[in-house]
Chains A and B, each alone.
Chain A
Amino acid sequence: MNALATPIIRSLRQPKGAIAGGWLIGLVLLAVFVPLLSPYAYDVQNLPNAFAPPSGAHWFGTDEFGRDLLTRILYGARTSLSVSAIAIGLSVTVGMCLGAAAGYLGGWFDRIVTSIVDLSWSFPEILVALILVAIIGPGVTGTLVAIGVAYLAQFTRLTRAQIMAIKSETYVEASRSLGASNVFILGRHLIPNALAPVLVSAMLATGDAIILEATLGFFGLGAQPPTPSWGSMMSSGTAQLFKAPWIILFPGLAVAITVIAINLFGDALIKSLDIRSRMRAA
């Protein structure tokens, strides 16, 4: 626990890390407590009040159905953040298992995993995700699986590289000389030492996943109406780009600032963990 908390606290002490971390924590809190904070519902239409520009009553204005934009962005944050985080979480879990097994066992298993990973590595994530959504069908589940699979190659590769490097460390040999089993060595030495770079790269990938989720939403393949998502909100804003630019502007800013914040915080983590050289293996 300490090993996890210390670098996070140290990152928050750096100016970049503090600003980025502050934004992310604030956004999550707002998204969680938005039903208590906002007087508006995200899905109740108020057509007479459509296209209202930003004002004291509607800080970010309203959309084409007269719904409060700020409220919808905060509800949208729930979708965007949770879908991205859960998808990356699944991806990391599976990728670490595959990568660790491939890196530790080697042999034919490693060759098969590496070939598949290299094959999918040569396609852009968006292409992989689009193909998968086309197969599974649009919606939150489809997006989740699509994003998870799209990033699987990255985590498998990184974990495999880390395990291969750590496997030849003398302390692993020392553990073996004591009679340690493969499971013991993997669980007590290899995975704990490989964890830091993988978790940081997962953090950075969550930023990319928010963009991917927004992209799928923009094409109408993500969360279906009336559930708000940043991508679908931007998509509906394109039609009113000149009439009501705030409809596309504010969700777009939410995506941009959140992704920048995640990257800045990831950088701060890399610095406080002192693992810059090890991140390059990705």
Chain B
Amino acid sequence: MTAGPLLRFAAVSRRFTSPGGWFSPARSMTAVRSVSFDIAKGDVVGVVGESGCGKSTLARLALRLITPTAGSVAFQGSDLGSLSPRALRALRGKMGMVFQDPYASLDPRYTVTDVLAEPFRVQGDSVTHARIDDLLDQVGLPRAMAESYPHHLSGGQRQRVGIARALATEPDFVVLDEPTASLDVSIQAQIVTLLAELRARRGLTYLFISHDLGLVRYFCDRIVVMYLGAVVEDLPDTAITPRHPYTAALMASSFAPDPALRRAIAPLKGEIPSPFNLPKGCAFAARCPSVSEQCRFEVPPLVAAQDGHALACFHPLGT
């Protein structure tokens, strides 16, 4: 268990089925379609995509909060699906998760101390005041806040509590599900800086979920781009120029904070199709500027080049 990846997605898929009612037929959608990639220890892997791309489902699959309908997820070499409930619970101490909405992710009846003690109580341990104080120090909150309730805290402070909770049991791996999406940009920068510090200090591995390509390019070592449940491009280095038309469109859609870099906007046409009835071929075909007949009938496979740069496109840019 030395050289293997910390986390491995092996052809993971997840279907959701809504049961039919008296007058409506059952419908099913595939939120995540056969996703495979490894996360090496110490890496920060960013997963980007728009709504319906399956990035949040992937985050939950990583921690087995959702069970895959096909494929498997392995953490430190052990398949999460094959573990006994007891073993899985013990393993959860090595994994953490930070949620998008810091208002909803804290129980309104819990004080900050209660929130931070929960990871220990769940594992059947007790916790000292010194440990709570230490956790508050690590995320830059005053110790006096220990007895506050969530409604006394600002959004940024709540998210710091959420981060402290995820780090309480000293995990190796933390899933960050859009941890700054509902915060002001000024607070977002604080939180991102805190996450970077914690990573450097404790050698953490992050899976960072976001819709903001600019943020991901700043914060992550590697970028995985998803569209409608599948990985379309995997950039092992943020400096690599993307070659998938969707990644290129995502980049063109986020504007640099510099009027000197103003450019003609050529927005993608159309919107993301419903995941309930996916097209037959490439899911991006209907919006793609370089679409061909082949794209409409065949699903392009994800092919990796020598340098690890993988993409799923018949007509990549720059060829």
User: Could you say which residues of chain A place their CB within 8 Å of the CB of B65?
Assistant: 173, 176-177
CB distance from A73 to the nearest CB of B (A): 41
Q: DSSP majority for the A interface?
A: helix
Q: B104–A171 contact, CB under 8 A? A: yes
Contacts A179-B88, A192-B109, A193-B109 given; does A174 touch B97 at CB 8 Å: yes
Task: Please tell me if B118 contacts chain A, counting CB pairs below 8 Å.
Answer: yes
Contact with B along A1-27 (1 / 0, CB 8 A): 001000000000000000000000000
Task: Please tell me if B119 contacts chain A, counting CB pairs below 8 Å.
Answer: yes
A169 to B109, CA, bound (A): 13
A173 to B175, CA, bound (A): 13
User: Could you say which residues of chain B place their CB within 8 Å of the CB of A189?
Assistant: 107
Task: Please tell me if A65 contacts chain B, counting CB pairs below 8 Å.
Answer: no
Task: Please tell me if A175 contacts chain B, counting CB pairs below 8 Å.
Answer: yes
Q: B122–A178 contact, CB under 8 A? A: yes
Task: Please tell me if B105 contacts chain A, counting CB pairs below 8 Å.
Answer: yes
Q: A180–B105 contact, CB under 8 A? A: no
User: Could you say which residues of chain A place their CB within 8 Å of the CB of B105?
Assistant: 170-171, 173-174
Q: A173–B99 contact, CB under 8 A? A: yes
Q: A174–B99 contact, CB under 8 A? A: yes
A170 to B165, CA, bound (A): 14
**Nearest A residue to B102 by beta-carbon distance?**
A170
Task: Please tell me if A33 contacts chain B, counting CB pairs below 8 Å.
Answer: no
How many pairs, one residue from A and one from B, have CB atoms within 8 Å of each other in the complex? 59
Contacting B at CB under 8 A, from A218-272, are: none
Q: A177–B107 contact, CB under 8 A? A: no
User: Could you say which residues of chain A place their CB within 8 Å of the CB of B241?
Assistant: none
Task: Please tell me if A184 contacts chain B, counting CB pairs below 8 Å.
Answer: yes
**Nearest A residue to B162 by beta-carbon distance?**
A174
Q: A171–B92 contact, CB under 8 A? A: no
Contacting A at CB under 8 A, from B78-119, are: 88-90, 92-93, 95-97, 99-101, 104-110, 118-119
User: Could you say which residues of chain A place their CB within 8 Å of the CB of B162?
Assistant: 174
User: Could you say which residues of chain A place their CB within 8 Å of the CB of B93?
Assistant: 179
The size of the chain A interface, using a CB distance under 8 A, is 18
**Nearest A residue to B95 by beta-carbon distance?**
A177
Contacting A at CB under 8 A, from B102-153, are: 104-110, 118-119, 121-123
User: Could you say which residues of chain B place their CB within 8 Å of the CB of A169?
Assistant: 104, 107
User: Could you say which residues of chain B place their CB within 8 Å of the CB of A193?
Assistant: 107-109
CB distance from A164 to the nearest CB of B (A): 15
Q: B109–A179 contact, CB under 8 A? A: no
Residue of B63, B104, B121, B169 near A170 (CB, 8 A) is: B104
Contacts A177-B65, A180-B122 given; does A170 touch B88 at CB 8 Å: no
A192 to B110, CA, bound (A): 10
CB distance from B25 to the nearest CB of A (A): 20
A171 to B122, CA, bound (A): 14
User: Could you say which residues of chain B place their CB within 8 Å of the CB of A175?
Assistant: 107, 118, 122
A193 to B109, CA, bound (A): 7
Residue picked from A3, A180, A181, A184, most chain B C-beta under 10 Å: A180
Contacting B at CB under 8 A, from A138-178, are: 169-171, 173-178
Contact with B along A175-200 (1 / 0, CB 8 A): 11111110010001100110000000
Q: B96–A177 contact, CB under 8 A? A: yes
User: Could you say which residues of chain B place their CB within 8 Å of the CB of A3?
Assistant: 109
Contact with B along A90-120 (1 / 0, CB 8 A): 0000000000000000000000000000000
Q: B97–A179 contact, CB under 8 A? A: no
User: Could you say which residues of chain B place their CB within 8 Å of the CB of A188?
Assistant: 118, 121
**Nearest B residue to A166 by beta-carbon distance?**
B107
A189 to B121, CA, bound (A): 13
User: Could you say which residues of chain A place their CB within 8 Å of the CB of B110?
Assistant: 171
CB distance from A200 to the nearest CB of B (A): 16
User: Could you say which residues of chain A place their CB within 8 Å of the CB of B90?
Assistant: 179
A175 to B107, CA, bound (A): 10
20 A–B contacts from the bound complex (CB under 8 Å): A3-B109, A170-B99, A170-B105, A171-B104, A171-B110, A173-B99, A174-B99, A174-B162, A177-B65, A178-B119, A178-B122, A178-B165, A179-B93, A181-B89, A181-B122, A184-B122, A188-B121, A192-B109, A193-B107, A193-B108
> A177-B95, A179-B122 given. 15 additional CB < 8 A pairs?
A170-B99, A170-B100, A173-B65, A174-B97, A174-B99, A177-B63, A178-B118, A178-B122, A178-B169, A179-B92, A180-B118, A181-B122, A188-B121, A189-B107, A193-B109
Top 10 closest pairs, chain A to chain B, by CB: A179-B92, A170-B104, A179-B89, A170-B105, A177-B97, A171-B107, A180-B122, A178-B122, A178-B119, A179-B122
